[in-house]
Amino acid sequence: MLEDPVDVARLFCSALLDPVTNLDVLEMIVAPETRAIWGDFVPTADTVKAEGFEGIWNEETRAHGDRTIAYVPLLSKDDMGKTEAGFQIVLGVLSLVWREDLGRWAVFALGEPALPETAPRQP
């Protein structure tokens, strides 16, 4: 399951709906080097909920020239992100990095797609 970036994004977002109860899951899903930045995940959860989070895109996009970075958009609840013109309303993007040392994908940023060179790599 943690070998598919969309599954990791789905698990992260599901756990984010109740960050207090799911703190252990959230801490496991993010890149170890970013754990301190996320804190207790409550402010992140509050922001995502306030923005009308409804779900995630069912496919990832890979960074140009770097297959170890994946991006998964978070969608609004306005008809699952579809506007009248058919465009998706994206609330933000989860940036994930494949960590060979962990044997899984790890979330390392939320917001704009993070540049590959900012990804925490294995030690």
Angstrom distance (rounded) from CA 60 to CA 39: 26
> Crossing angle of helices 42-50/5-16, nearest 10°?
90
pLDDT digits (tens, 9 = 90+) for 14-59: 999 999 999 999 999 999 999 999 999 999 999 988 888 888 888 8
| Alpha-carbon dihedral 25, 115, 42, 90, rounded to 10 degrees | -100
Residues 51-80 have a mean pLDDT of 86
Beta bridge partners of 90: 75
The pLDDT assigned to 81 comes to 47
Q: Where exactly are the structural domains of the chain?
A: 5-114
- Give which of 34, 19, 45 is closest to 95, Cα–Cα: 34
pLDDT, the chain, mean:
89
Q: Which CATH architecture has domain 5-114?
A: Roll (3.10)
pTM: 0.88
Q: Does pLDDT of 89 surpass 80? A: no
Percentage of residues of the chain with pLDDT beyond 90: 69
Which of 55, 69, 68 has its CA nearest to residue 113?
69
3-state secondary structure of 40: coil
